[in-house]
Amino acid sequence: YLSLAANHSASRSLPANAAESQRTLPQPLQLRAQAVAPSSPVRSDMIECGLQPSETATDNQSDSDSAIVDLVTDVEHPDRLLRQMAACWSDEALTDVTLIAYADSGSDAAGSGSVQSTCLRIPAHKLVLSAGSDYFRAMFQGRMSEAAASEVALHEVEPEALRQCVSFLYTGTLQLGQDNVESLLSAACLLQIRAVIDAASQYLAKQLHASNCLGIGQFAALRNCSKLQQAASAFAVANFPSVLMHQEFLGLSIDELVALLDSDELRVANESVVFEAILKWCDSDLAQRRADFPRALQTVRLCRLPPDYLANRVESHPLVRDCAVCLRQVLQAYRHQLRPQLQLQHACPRPRLSTVGKLLLLGGVADTPLTEILAYDPFINKWCPAGQLDSPRLQFGVACLPDNRIIVVGGRDGLKTTSSVICANLSGSGGGPVAWTSLQSMNTHRHGLGVGILAGVVYAIGGHDGWSYLNTVERWDTGAKSWSYVSPMSLPRSTVGVAALHGRLYAVGGRDGSSCLKTVESFNPHSQRWSLCAPLLKRRGGAGVSALGDHIYAVGGHDAPSSNPSAKRFACVERYDPLTDQWTLLASLSSPREAAAVGALGSLLVVCGGYDGTTHCDCVDLYDPATARWSSGATLPSGRAGAAAVAFAAA
């Protein structure tokens, strides 16, 4: 047990004082009875402690019964023994080694410039030192010359820090403050006293600030204090905009700068913050750091920058313009942005978690239809309340408009199918929508429809009107503020999955009234025609469909309506490549389900909830194409199916 009495002085980044915690008082003596062999002696310490056996043998008891004695555990013994050893140390009694630490005291009085050293001698017991320090255990129990020495000189530890560490081994008490914590941590790391290392690391972790986190991280790295180093690094990436305003940022080496800026967790609004930070770092010592600029520039995810910024700020900067390596990096970024043809040949670095925005999950059904909206923040891996729909909806369509407004289209509330359309700005609590307004209703009532956006135009595709399955398609004219029909699909489809990719809309699977479909068709807005694509590997109704990167994903679903007792639900996942016109099976979901909400968030595919045939699921699965693996995300507050998911940009 470690008792810390913090002794702080006022500091801008350190607290002025801290409460002193006391060691737990020893518990009353406890007895523990246990049968022992007749040959076991009754220890004299039982009598000295005034302890008696719990039962006295009678003449009528058998010999085996009379051989049972009480073994006593004295719970105060360790604490009492520690106090006695501390007293011996204080009195320098029975010590068998003297530790010697040296400290520089400055120049001599004659002014010759030579450094004078003073030493601190600390008598101690090898047994106690070895019991509390792996360093001393190796020294005194091994074959080192110090094992038999009566004096041991320690040149790499400050004298007062050594005295406090030795005192801790005898007393279990340590006083930490801003004036001694670094020297104590250095000494404890050398002597390998884990309790002191942990205590000092925790103390420094509580003092992390934008002005000192990089320095504390460097200090921890030099001493292999991994937990403190990780805490300092996490603080730096989470508070990067503030960190780069302080002097420590300019003092980073190129290796340290790259390690910091490479992090996916670096909290920045966009990649321009990273580029400007590199310029600031270089400008602080341009003569020395010009050669490091190309390496630093590699940490900027240039393809994620707006084209005008890339051209007007990055490409035109002298450090980029005068460097062939940097210009090649910029050219590669331009190629990434020329979608779809050129980017299919290259992998664009994944966006940072802080730049991907959030995923909204709207509506759906549990025991009853829901109006609640949730927002998923990947940076903290948490779902938060984000407002309400105007009314309960399930099996509706949703999309995020280019101006960051959200549009909700059709759906049903129970058995009632609607044609209504609502829209809201994304600025509410938690980033959710506020102030829903009604837009012109669709020409047809639709639930089980799919919604997609091409060039800012909203399309409502297929679905069911309450009587029949639909192949009709409507588009929202933002100028006329009305809906109009465009070319219909080749087949009617309800519970259809829709995704937009590379300037085309894709309608995937669904149901036509007689069966679930494996057919897929795509819409070209220029020719206003639908054309068939390669079919799915499985018939799927109620599948979750989304575009991510250069592919379309179809997740889960069923092979027959839920009313069919023989219906099967799928955990399998397929991915479509428009370049090869092929579907490929991927790793499966954690469990089979239909009516899951699926959305793309940054470089991840997010699958939320669904229905497994008996329950509405609260699980959230995350698929990373870079690793081809699924992982679990934060579970939903409650299960739901038939919801809709849509990502929106960070504010």
Q: What is the pLDDT of residue 423?
A: 94
The identity of residue 71, as a single letter, is: L
In this predicted structure, the answer to whether residue 86 has a pLDDT above a threshold of 80 is: yes
Q: What is the pLDDT of residues 589-600, one digit of tens each?
A: 999 999 999 999
Instruction: For residue 189, report the phi and psi dihedrals to the nearest 5 degrees.
Output: -65, -40
At residue 61 the predicted structure's pLDDT band, cuts being 50, 70 and 90, is: low
Q: Which residues contact 62 (CB under 8 A, 6 or more apart)?
A: none
Band (pLDDT 50/70/90 cuts) for residue 18 is very low
Is residue 28 very low, low, confident or very high in pLDDT (cuts 50, 70, 90)? Answer: very low
What is the maximum alpha-carbon separation in the chain? 110
Q: Which tens digits make up the pLDDT trace of 317-364?
A: 999 999 999 999 999 899 888 764 455 445 678 889 888 889 999 999
Tens digit of each residue's pLDDT (9 = 90 or more) over 350-403: 889 888 889 999 999 998 889 999 999 988 899 999 999 999 999 999 999 888
Three-state helix/strand/coil letters over 18-34: CCCCCCCCCCCCEECCC
CA angle 119, 120, 126 (to 5 degrees): 125
Residue 31 has pLDDT above 50, yes or no: no
The residue among 201, 171, 169, 170 whose CA lies nearest residue 184 is 201
∠ at Cα 225 (219, 227), nearest 5°?
115
Residue count of the chain: 651
Q: Give SS3 for 142.
A: coil
- For residues 596 and 641, the answer to whether their CB atoms sit within 8 Å is yes
Please tell me the predicted confidence (pLDDT) of residue 115: 53
Average pLDDT, the chain: 87
Rounded Cα gap, residues 462 and 474, in angstroms? 9
Band (pLDDT 50/70/90 cuts) for residue 258 is: very high
pTM (two decimals): 0.73
CA 316 from centroid of its chain's CA atoms: 36
Confidence tier at 55 by pLDDT (50, 70, 90): very low
* Closest of 352, 329, 333, 330 to residue 343, by C-alpha: 333
Q: How far apart are CA 326 and CA 350, in angstroms?
A: 20
DSSP secondary structure letters along 322-335: T-HHHHHHHHHHHH
Q: Name the E strands within 549-588.
A: 551-555, 573-577, 582-586
Interhelix angle for 271-283 vs 254-261, to 10°? 170
Is the pLDDT assigned to residue 40 strictly greater than 60? no
Q: What is the pLDDT of residue 650?
A: 61
SS3 (DSSP) at 17: coil
Residue spans of the domains in the chain: they are 359-648
Residue 191 to residue 185: CA distance in whole angstroms: 10
**What mean pLDDT comes out for the span 2-21?**
38
The answer to whether 361 and 601 are in contact (CB under 8 A) is no
Q: Which amino acid is at 508?
A: V
- pLDDT surpasses 90 at 67: no
Annotation: CATH topology of 359-648: Neuraminidase (2.120.10)
Residue 448, both tokens: 């089980």
Do residues 648 and 404 lie in contact, with contact meaning Cβ atoms separated by under 8 Å?
A: yes
Q: What is the pLDDT of residues 189-234, one digit of tens each?
A: 999 999 999 999 999 999 999 999 999 999 999 999 999 999 999 9
**What's the confidence (pLDDT) of residue 404?**
83
Q: What is the pLDDT of residues 625-644, one digit of tens each?
A: 989 999 999 999 999 999 99
More confident call, 277 vs 50: 277
Statement: residue 48 has pLDDT above 80:
no
Tell me the CA distances in angstroms from 6 to 14, 18, 68, 444, one per residue in order: 11, 5, 50, 71
Q: Which residues contact 399 (CB under 8 A, 6 or more apart)?
A: 406, 407, 409, 451, 452, 453, 458, 646
- CB-based contact 136:112 (threshold 8 Å): no
CA angle at residue 641 from 640 to 643, to 5 degrees?
95
Instruction: Say which residues have a Cβ less than 8 Å from residue 96's Cβ, sequence separation at least 6.
Output: 125, 126, 150
Q: Is 212 left (phi over 0), alpha (psi -120 to 50) or beta?
A: alpha
- Residue 42: per-residue pLDDT: 42
pLDDT grade for 279, boundaries at 50, 70 and 90: very high
Decide the pairing of beta strands 573-577 and 582-586. antiparallel
Residue 1 has pLDDT above 80, yes or no: no
Q: What is the mean pLDDT of residues 511-535?
A: 96
Mean pLDDT over residues 550-575, rounded?
A: 91
Classified as helix, coil or strand, 264 is coil
Cα 597 from Cα 417, distance rounded (Å)? 19
